[in-house]
A and B are shown apart, each in its own frame.
Chain A
């Protein structure tokens, strides 16, 4: 059974620092991996989608990598800002459903 783990569950860093969020999954048979952002009381906003054949995707200050063979993905955030404070979730798609991790709650300290 596919399981997705995100460590740490919470993270606080000073503004301006670069940071990495981690996501691991137990079964490498996935079609894609998607990173989302969720603000308190809001829905999920898609940040980056990586197909199984891709190694990374970039959008602005965000870079996501995928190593399918080791079951790992990272989300790199450059030059963090207070507006980046949110919960970040990763999700893998092994079939017609996606499976989520529990997320990392990120707090950027001004």
Chain B
């Protein structure tokens, strides 16, 4: 079945450490997105990519980095510069263009905790 796979489901980071969250999709979607979810704050956009080898900052990009070397993959690195990384991270994808019947598809999320 087509979908988005996020791994790992749970991730623990030590202070000063970089960690990478994986997001893979087999939907042949062009655009991919990373969101952060905190209690009471809703979903906030970190980075998004509409095409391979191109990506744009979202509302809260500081302390994060991404790459888009393949259409299927959009990994997110949480760097040591991100001072409060404990959150639930969600990856999403969609077909490029606005007149789409499919909307956005989300992965099952990665919960990152600083220890």
Contact = CB atoms under 8 A, between A and B. Distances in A.
Q: Is the interface of A mostly helix, strand, loop or mixed?
A: strand
B50 interface: yes
Contact of A32 (B40, B42, B92, B103): B103
Contacts of B102: 49
Interface in B27-82: 31, 33, 40-43, 45, 48, 50, 58
Interface residues of B, number: 27
Interface residues of A, number: 22
B99 A51 contact: yes
A49 B106 contact: no
Interface string B93-112: 00000111111111111010
Interface of B: 6, 31, 33, 40-43, 45, 48, 50, 58, 88, 90, 92, 98-109, 111
